[in-house]
Structure formats: structure tokens, C-alpha cells
Amino acid sequence: MSALATPVRRTPPAATRRTRGGVLPWLAVPALALFVAFGVIPLVGVLFLSFTSWDGLGEIQMSGLTSWRAVLGDPGLMHALWVTLLVMVVSWAVQTPASILLGVFLAGRQRYRAVLAVLYFIPLLLSQAAIAIAYKALLDPNFGLGAGLGVDLLIQDWLGEPVLAFSVVIFVVSWQFIPFHSLIYQGGVRQIPRSLYEAAEIDGAGRVRKFFSITLPQLKYTIITSSTLMVVGSLTFFDLIFVLTAGGPADATRVLALDMYKRGFQASLMGPASVIAVILVLVGLALALLLRRLGGRDANASQLEGA
């Protein structure tokens, strides 16, 4: 019970004040139970597996640090880590400006913008595997879009050249997730009090000035929320890359999650795969903490109260 109570004690004062009645902590029990069942127990299991050697079929044998040494001494790990970080940074850099601009545009109340918002949202409703299969067919240099339309510019070895394949992954990821983040920004922009813009207009500010002086600063916390989702989410890109490029050509798009899958389920090396899983957890935790620090303590507090 004490273990369950610990997080409650750490909650900010505002929350403890409300929970004095002693009822609210119990509301956390289902979520905590799920967290333990699907978060903590698997984590401990993977940590255990990382010190064993197991082919997925036979007996699990303790093997100490063998798997850790094998993975950490493998240049493939550094490469996969590098590709993962590259995907994370580049996809963030592509998605964020586009999402903000789209979000600001969609925040207007005109009906055609509402229709557009619905259209933009469609990619997010599709499964990543389906998107990957569709793009793979479209980009096929022999039977794809380019060959079908007879446009030479489109006839490239899209998924066969390392730089092109990486760019395609970024493009498809952005295509799918920009709508979602635009929606977040649309909500963020609509929360900005209109009085700020009215005051700025009286002072003679133009559209650009209003965007940079009011909209963008007011979206600070939305940007942090959206970035956290993008950055931590990018660690889990697997199905899209698996179907699109299978990590190829020659490891150019082999991210950590794919590396883990390949070692675990294709090479039957559960020990090294678990080591990579642990590394993924550590990277994810470090990033989440870093973003939280950047956002400051009040990042997740509601901004409406002060407005």
C-alpha cells in the first residue's frame, strides 16, 4: 500500500487540497494497476531477460553481462541510436513549423476551414502499416506513380538509396502526424484571449507581428506538449519503417525499435534484444525529463485560469 501511496504524496499542493476527502486517491487505482501490469512488470521482465541468453524457444539461461557486452560493443547499436535520434530531430523540425502554421490557419471560424480540418485529419485515421504499403506501391520505381504518370522526376529509387529512403520515412511520418499536431495547435490558438489581438491592433501591429509577438509566445506550452508527443513517439516508429524499408537499404533506416525486433524475433536473440529495449527506456525517460525541464514546472498547468 505504501508503494501506491507514494506518488500521491508527491502531487502538487493544489491536488492534495482537493483530495483531502480521501476518495480521489482511489480513483488512481485502476490506472496504477494497469501501469504495474503493462509497464512495471514487463520492464522488470525485460531487465531480467537482458542478463540471460534465450532463443525464444528453449530454456532461459543466465548469462550475466554477455548480452550487454555484445550489444554495447556492436557498432550496429551506435548506428541504430544515431538513426533514431536523426529521425527524431528531423521529423520534429519538419512537423513543428508546419503544424503550427496549419493550426493557426485552421483556428479561424470560417466553415471552409472546418471542412479542411476534417480532410487534413484523415491520414491519422489510417493504420501505419496500411500507409506504408500504399506509399511503397506509389513509390515503386517500376510500377509506381512516376512510371504510371510518365513523370521522370518521380521515377527515383525512393526506397533504395539511403538518403532518399530516410527522407521518405520522414515525409510519410510527417504526412501522418502533422494533422494531429495541427489539431493540438488549433486548440491552443483558440484559447488565446482575443483581447490581446485587439490591443495589438490598436497599437498598429500587422499579421506577422501579431503571430510572432502574441500567437507564438502564447503557444509555448502547446509546443512543449506537442514536442513531447513527437519526440517520445518517434522512439516507437516501427511498423511504418518495417513495412516501408525493413531498415534498409543496408541499415540506413534501422532505428532502435527495428533493431530490437530484428535481434529478438528474426535472429532469436532475446538477450541482446532486451538490452536494446532497456536502452530505449532509458533514452525515452531521459528525453521526457529533459523536455519537462525545458518546459518548466508549470508546463502542464492550465493556462486559462490566469487569462
Residues at the interface with other proteins (CB under 8 A):
7, 11, 15, 34-35, 38-39, 41-43, 45-46, 49, 54-60, 136, 139-143, 157-160, 165, 225, 228-229, 232, 235-236, 245-246, 248-251, 257, 260-270, 273-274, 277, 280-281, 284-285, 288, 292, 300-302
Nearer CB in complex with other proteins: 115/285: 285
Phi, psi of 106 (to 5 degrees): -75, -10
Give the Cα separation of 109 and 111 in Å (integer): 6
Nearer CB in complex with other proteins: 87/117: 87
* CB contact at 8 A, 96 and 223: yes
**Least separation, in Å, of the C-beta of 197 and other proteins?**
28
Cα torsion 221, 227, 230, 231 to 10°: value is -130
Nearer CB in complex with other proteins: 182/274: 274
**Least separation, in Å, of the C-beta of 24 and other proteins?**
13
Nearer CB in complex with other proteins: 39/296: 39
Q: Which residue has the cell 491519422?
A: 124
Give the Cα separation of 175 and 138 in Å (integer): 14
Q: Cell triple for residue 194?
A: 482575443
Cα torsion 130, 135, 140, 145 to 10°: value is 120
Nearer CB in complex with other proteins: 124/251: 251
**Least separation, in Å, of the C-beta of 178 and other proteins?**
19
**Least separation, in Å, of the C-beta of 193 and other proteins?**
21
Angle of helix 41-49 relative to helix 270-295, nearest 10 degrees, comes to 130
**Least separation, in Å, of the C-beta of 194 and other proteins?**
25
Inter-residue long-range contacts of 281-288, CB under 8 Å, 24+ positions, other chains counted: 281/43, 281/46, 283/81, 283/84, 283/235, 283/256, 284/232, 284/235, 287/231, 287/232, 287/235, 288/228, 288/232
Nearer CB in complex with other proteins: 178/254: 254
**Least separation, in Å, of the C-beta of 280 and other proteins?**
5
